[in-house]
Each structure stands twice: as structure tokens, then as C-alpha cells.
């Protein structure tokens, strides 16, 4: 049975708790007199020492009073000799709205900072709206043996005002390495954030988000070798499917099926299949087929201030196959992107195309055919070398630009992000720059 207990956020009270000896602790916390007809047991109290209590309190914000509800699992750990109240209180303090994962953890742990889980999936199973799941640096090996299998499967949903956040505590410090040919991380929840992970290995998909309004930010998805080769099973660094309104921002997606560039049409860097997705401030390169692609029923995408280079195709807008509509993809806005050194097309409309697709102030250069349109309206295209600081086709270079680059102050403010991939405010000069970096 779950019991709610109020944790009083008072520094003096916390200090009193920390100074209590184990024998006195029950009395100090109101446990000296049994209110439920059970006499407290001193031996049980001694199992909760001041060091463990200190660790529990340290992981909790004690600036305001809160009401916490221990989990069913925590309640089942409560001693049956009358120490229920104390243990329930410390469990509530520990859990709060944070759970922890580390390579050295165990899924039988409570998921505290001192005793973390071992897997992200276990943390997800204990989370609910408003939780942050902290993932410590280290390597997390997962297996996705075949297409349709998942290395990591998370299913819980947050809400619009209380999202669930999966965070690598050190950016790219939590390294997820997948074996097999399936999906590295499949997130089925709505209002979920995936932030700061390093994902690589043999799989066909890095991150797949399916719920409503997820965000995928600050991740490094790279060197997926696409086990099984180019076939109808496809592949992508970041993939959207389901309810839409996805934000994909400040990611580096690099070398997805790299050895198949120009010979494969089914492997993408960022692949959107849903409506109203926003794709901004990403660097995408070395993709077997398309850097950023719409397909299926995707429509009303905003694709702005990305840097896309050395793929078969830079950007593809269109619909096709399952989910395609009779009117086609429409109301798309593609602006301020650097699209450079792509073998076949820079920007391409393909499949079912609707109305009101705008392509504004993009740099498209050194690609087989720069721009291929069906119905889209193109304006302000720049056809010059962007003058990167250090262009390397394999993604190992520096994709900021030199002084004098044609992208500086040449972007449009419409739909431009307020910061760049590095968090620098836009604009810094007379106008927004083109590409993921603001000069």
C-alpha cells in the first residue's frame, strides 16, 4: 500500500535528522510512540545510519516542502516491525523526480544516485510524468538482433507541462553501442526528451521516436554500419514515426551507411514521417542516401539552419508509400541551410508534392543538381563555396565558416532558431547566418 508523507524542507530540521543517532532517530522523527498500534523496534532503526540518510537527502531539493509518494517497490522493502514511517520517508526523499543509471548499477537497485539502475529501460519502467533520468558516462552495450527488435525500448509518457527527460549527464559521455541490425533506441512515449547521448554500432536505426511532441537534442549519432546492407529495411540516424510535432535540434548525425553513399536509396540521416516536425541546427553528413528526408505522410516540416554535406542527396521533400496523402506534402519551410557536396541532388522534391512549399536563402553548391522542384517556390539561393574553416568530407572537420563566407548575414529571420548549434545567440551581425553555426 502506498503512503504519502510530507517532507518538511527546513535546513534546521534536516540538520537535526543528520545529527540524530540511529537509536534516537525514530523518536526525533515522531516514531517514539506508535500511532498504528505497533511498537517501533530499535534494531530496525539502526539499519538506517546517518550516512545513508545524508546520501538520500543530498539527492533531493530541500528548499520547499513537498509531498512524496513512495513507490510500491519501496513500500514492500519496509520493515514490518514498525519502522515503516521512517523508511517510507527516506525512500520518498531519495526518489523525488530523479532516477539514475550507470554502467556499474543494477536493475535491482532503487535507482538513486548512490544505487543506480544498470539500464535505461529499467529507469523508464519506474518513471512517470516529470521525471529526469540521469545516465552516467560509460559504455552501454545493447543488442538489436534483427529489424524490428530494439536495443532499448522506452514507453512511458510525460505531459506537456511535466515531460520525461533522458539526459546523458556528460554530453556524449553515455555511449550506447548497438550490435545486430535492429533499432538502437525506440521511444514510444509522448512528451519525452532524449538529450546528449553518443550512439554508434552495427544497427540500422539510431533513435526512433513515435509519441507526440518528443525532442531529440544534442546527440551524436554516428558510424551506424547498417548491418545487412542496403535493402528495403531502410535505416536512419534519427527517425520519426507516429504522432508528430517532433523537435530535432543540435544533433550531429554522421556516417550512416557511409560506405554505400551514392549506391543506396533507403538509408537516411534524419528521416521524418510525421507532420509538423522541426529540424534545426543539426550537422548531417556521410549518409548513404539523403541527409534530411521527408516521406510517408510527412508534411508541414520546418527545416532551418542545418549544415548538410557529402551525402547522395542533401534534402528531400515529398511523400510516398504508406501514409502518403492525396494532396501530398505541403506547407513546408526550408531555409538557411548549407547544402554542400552532395552527389546527386542538393535539394529535391520527389513523390507526392502539395502546395505552399518554400525554399528560402539556402546555400546549395557542389552538388550534382543543385535544386530540383515540382511545385516549390525557391528564393535567395546562394551557389558559392561556404568557406568552412576545415572541410573534411568524412565529418571530422570544422564546419564553422571563415570571415568573408557568403553565408554570413545572408539568412532570413523567419523561423530561424534563437541560438546556433553551440548555443551562440542569433543574430550576431546584421542578420542571421546560414548554416548550423552563427559566425
* pLDDT given for residue 299 in this prediction: 98
**pLDDT top residue among 300 and 231:** 300
Phi, psi of 26 (to 5 degrees): -65, -45
As a whole number of angstroms, the distance between CA 282 and CA 288 comes to 17
As a whole number of angstroms, the distance between CA 81 and CA 101 comes to 32
* pLDDT given for residue 19 in this prediction: 38
Q: Convert the pLDDT of each residue in 375-408 to its tens digit.
A: 999 999 999 999 999 999 999 999 999 999 999 9
| Residue 4 clears pLDDT 70, i.e. is over it | no
96 confidence band (pLDDT: 50, 70, 90): low
Q: Are 103 and 138 in contact, with CB atoms under 8 Å apart?
A: yes
Q: Convert the pLDDT of each residue in 179-210 to its tens digit.
A: 999 999 999 999 999 999 999 999 999 999 99
- List, in sequence order, every beta strand (DSSP E) within 250-341: 252-256, 267-272, 278-280, 283-287, 290-294, 302-304, 307-309, 313-317, 333-335, 338-340
**Among 201, 171, 207, 202, residue whose Cα is nearest residue 189:** 207
Who contacts 415 (Cβ-Cβ below 8 Å, separation ≥6)?
Answer: 302, 304, 333, 335
Q: What is the SS3 assignment for 5?
A: strand
Q: If you average pLDDT over residues 417-427, what whole number do you get? A: 98
| Residue 90 clears pLDDT 90, i.e. is over it | no
6 confidence band (pLDDT: 50, 70, 90): very low
Domains and their CATH numbers in the chain:
5-95 (no CATH), 132-401 (2.160.20.10)
Q: What is the SS3 assignment for 337?
A: coil
* pLDDT given for residue 93 in this prediction: 37
Q: Convert the pLDDT of each residue in 9-46 to its tens digit.
A: 333 433 443 333 333 333 333 333 333 333 333 333 33
* pLDDT given for residue 232 in this prediction: 87
| Residue 430 clears pLDDT 80, i.e. is over it | yes
Q: What is the SS3 assignment for 217?
A: strand
* pLDDT given for residue 42 in this prediction: 31
The least confident of 83-97, 128-142, 213-227 is 83-97
Amino acid at each position: 500500500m502506498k503512503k504519502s508523507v510530507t517532507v518538511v524542507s527546513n535546513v534546521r530540521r534536516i540538520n537535526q535528522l543528520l545529527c540524530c543517532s540511529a537509536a534516537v532517530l525514530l523518536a526525533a522523527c515522531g516514531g517514539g510512540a506508535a500511532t498504528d498500534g505497533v511498537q517501533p523496534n530499535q534494531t530496525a532503526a539502526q539499519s538506517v545510519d546517518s550516512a545513508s540518510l545524508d546520501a538520500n537527502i543530498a539527492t533531493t531539493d530541500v528548499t520547499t516542502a513537498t509531498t512524496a509518494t513512495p513507490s510500491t517497490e519501496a513500500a514492500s522493502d519496509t520493515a514490518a516491525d514498525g519502522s515503516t514511517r521512517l523508511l517510507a520517508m527516506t525512500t520518498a526523499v531519495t526518489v523525488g523526480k530523479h532516477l539514475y543509471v550507470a554502467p556499474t548499477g543494477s536493475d535491482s537497485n532503487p535507482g538513486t544516485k548512490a544505487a543506480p539502475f544498470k539500464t535505461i529501460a529499467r529507469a523508464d519502467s519506474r518513471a512517470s510524468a516529470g521525471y529526469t533520468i540521469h545516465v552516467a558516462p560509460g559504455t552501454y552495450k545493447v543488442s538489436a538482433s534483427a529489424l524490428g527488435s530494439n536495443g532499448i525500448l522506452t514507453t512511458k509518457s510525460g505531459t506537456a507541462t511535466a515531460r520525461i527527460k533522458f539526459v546523458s549527464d556528460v554530453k556524449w559521455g553515455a555511449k550506447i553501442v548497438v550490435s545486430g541490425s535492429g533499432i538502437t533506441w525506440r521511444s514510444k512515449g509522448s512528451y519525452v526528451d532524449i538529450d546528449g547521448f553518443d550512439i554508434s554500432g552495427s544497427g540500422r536505426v539510431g533513435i526512433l521516436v513515435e509519441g507526440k511532441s518528443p525532442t531529440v537534442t544534442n546527440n551524436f549519432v554516428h558510424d551506424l554500419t547498417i548491418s545487412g546492407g542496403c535493402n528495403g529495411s531502410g535505416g536512419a540516424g534519427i527517425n520519426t514515426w507516429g504522432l508528430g510535432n517532433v523537435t530535432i535540434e543540435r544533433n550531429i548525425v554522421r556516417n550512416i551507411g557511409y560506405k554505400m553513399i551514392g549506391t543506396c536509396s533507403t538509408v537516411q540521416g534524419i528521416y521524418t514521417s510525421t507532420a509538423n516536425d522541426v529540424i534545426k541546427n543539426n550537422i548531417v553528413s556521410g549518409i548513404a542516401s539523403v541527409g534530411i528526408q521527408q516521406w510517408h505522410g510527412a508534411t508541414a516540416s520546418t527545416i532551418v539552419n542545418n549544415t548538410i554535406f557529402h551525402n547522395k542527396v542533401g534534402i528531400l521533400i515529398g511523400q510516398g508509400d504508406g501514409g502518403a496523402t492525396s494532396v501530398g506534402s505541403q506547407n513546408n519551410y526550408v531555409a538557411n541551410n548549407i547544402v554542400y557536396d552532395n552527389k546527386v541532388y542538393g535539394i529535391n522534391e520527389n513523390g507526392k508534392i502539395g502546395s505552399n512549399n518554400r525554399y528560402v536563402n539556402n546555400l546549395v553548391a557542389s552538388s550534382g543538381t543543385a535544386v530540383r522542384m515540382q511545385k516549390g517556390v525557391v528564393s535567395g539561393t546562394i551557389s558559392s563555396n561556404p568557406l568552412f574553416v576545415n572541410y573534411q568530407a568524412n565529418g571530422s572537420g570544422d564546419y564553422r565558416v571563415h570571415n568573408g563566407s557568403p553565408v554570413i548575414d545572408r539568412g532570413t529571420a523567419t523561423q530561424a532558431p534563437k541560438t546556433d548549434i553551440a548555443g551562440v545567440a542569433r543574430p550576431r551581425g546584421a542578420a542571421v547566418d546560414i548554416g548550423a553555426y552563427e559566425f
